[in-house]
Amino acid sequence: MDYVSALVPPVVMATLFTALIVTIVKSQGGPNKAKEDAIADAVIAREAAARGTSRDN
Protein backbone atom coordinates (compact mmCIF):
# COMPACT_ATOMS: atom_id res chain seq x y z
CA MET A 1 0.00 0.00 0.00
CA ASP A 2 3.03 2.30 0.11
CA TYR A 3 2.84 2.69 -3.66
CA VAL A 4 -0.70 4.08 -3.38
CA SER A 5 0.38 6.75 -0.90
CA ALA A 6 3.35 7.55 -3.16
CA LEU A 7 1.16 7.98 -6.24
CA VAL A 8 -1.68 10.02 -4.73
CA PRO A 9 0.10 13.42 -4.51
CA PRO A 10 1.33 13.44 -8.14
CA VAL A 11 -2.07 12.31 -9.42
CA VAL A 12 -3.84 15.02 -7.42
CA MET A 13 -1.39 17.67 -8.63
CA ALA A 14 -1.72 16.53 -12.25
CA THR A 15 -5.51 16.66 -11.98
CA LEU A 16 -5.48 20.17 -10.51
CA PHE A 17 -2.97 21.35 -13.11
CA THR A 18 -5.16 19.97 -15.90
CA ALA A 19 -8.20 21.72 -14.42
CA LEU A 20 -6.23 24.97 -14.28
CA ILE A 21 -5.19 24.70 -17.92
CA VAL A 22 -8.76 23.89 -18.99
CA THR A 23 -10.06 26.92 -17.07
CA ILE A 24 -7.46 29.21 -18.66
CA VAL A 25 -8.25 27.95 -22.15
CA LYS A 26 -12.01 28.26 -21.65
CA SER A 27 -11.69 31.83 -20.37
CA GLN A 28 -9.84 32.95 -23.51
CA GLY A 29 -12.04 34.58 -26.10
CA GLY A 30 -15.80 34.31 -25.90
CA PRO A 31 -18.19 37.16 -25.19
CA ASN A 32 -15.77 38.99 -22.89
CA LYS A 33 -12.96 39.12 -25.46
CA ALA A 34 -14.31 42.24 -27.19
CA LYS A 35 -14.76 43.98 -23.84
CA GLU A 36 -11.24 43.10 -22.72
CA ASP A 37 -9.82 44.21 -26.06
CA ALA A 38 -11.68 47.53 -25.83
CA ILE A 39 -10.29 48.15 -22.36
CA ALA A 40 -6.74 47.36 -23.52
CA ASP A 41 -7.14 49.61 -26.58
CA ALA A 42 -8.42 52.45 -24.37
CA VAL A 43 -5.42 52.14 -22.06
CA ILE A 44 -3.00 52.15 -25.00
CA ALA A 45 -4.75 55.15 -26.58
CA ARG A 46 -4.70 57.06 -23.29
CA GLU A 47 -0.98 56.37 -22.87
CA ALA A 48 -0.27 57.44 -26.44
CA ALA A 49 -2.29 60.61 -25.95
CA ALA A 50 -0.43 61.40 -22.72
CA ARG A 51 2.90 60.95 -24.44
CA GLY A 52 1.78 63.12 -27.35
CA THR A 53 0.69 65.98 -25.09
CA SER A 54 3.82 65.81 -22.96
CA ARG A 55 6.03 66.11 -26.06
CA ASP A 56 4.20 69.24 -27.21
CA ASN A 57 4.60 71.00 -23.87
In this predicted model, what pLDDT tens digit does every residue of 4-20 receive, in sequence order?
999 999 999 999 999 99
> 54 pLDDT exceeds 70?
no
Residue 38 has what pLDDT?
87
In this predicted model, what pLDDT tens digit does every residue of 22-53 receive, in sequence order?
988 887 777 777 787 888 899 999 998 888 86
Residue 24 has what pLDDT?
86
Whole-number Å distance between alpha carbons of 10 and 8: 6
Those residues whose C-beta lies under 8 Å from the C-beta of residue 54, and which sit 6 or more positions away, are: none
